[in-house]
Amino acid sequence: MDVFIRLSHKGSPVTVVKLHSERLNAAIAREVRKELSQILTEKPGHFLLDLSQVSLIDSMGLSVLVWAHRHCRASGYQLKFCSLQEQVKLLFAIVGLDTIYEIYPSVEKALESFP
């Protein structure tokens, strides 16, 4: 199952991936991590994760996001997030991820923030 849509933006060195699932939970966390790992290995560099379709994230989903962020940082790259729905923004705030991760309202705003 492909859980990501890979997007390209002309002239941008950033890989944009969009999760096309309403839920990032235990049911798909393993598959999401597997696909993210493959994407990060195939095309190392800066990444933008578009979560615009995601309305629910559980602890397993959060662990995948934390893993991806750590993986990028350890490789010297940035992972940023954009287009979070209100429930996901609230979750990020409750667990403190909004103070750790860079989060942008849109793909365009996020792309402008990369070096």
- 54-93 pLDDT, tens digit per residue, is 999 999 999 999 999 999 999 999 999 999 999 999 999 9
Q: Residue 9 above 70 pLDDT?
A: no
Give the Cα separation of 41 and 58 in Å (integer). 25
Q: In Å, what is the CA distance from 94 to each residue of 11, 25, 59, 98?
A: 36, 17, 12, 9
Where exactly are the structural domains of the chain? Answer: 4-113
Token code pair at residue 71: 């993986």
Q: What are phi and psi of 2, to 5 degrees?
A: -90, 120
Give the Cα separation of 27 and 53 in Å (integer). 16
Q: Where do runs of H (alpha helix) occur along 1-115?
A: 26-42, 59-74, 86-95, 107-113
pTM over 0.85: yes
Between residues 5 and 72, the one the model is more confident about: 72
In sequence order, what are the beta bridge partners of 23? 56
Rounded average pLDDT over 4-32: 83
Whole-number average pLDDT of the chain: 90
| Amino acid at residue number 113 | S
* pLDDT at 12 (0 to 100): 72
15, 47 contact by CB (below 8 A): yes
Options 3.40.50.620, 3.30.750.24, 3.40.50.1860, 3.30.565.10; CATH for 4-113 is: 3.30.750.24
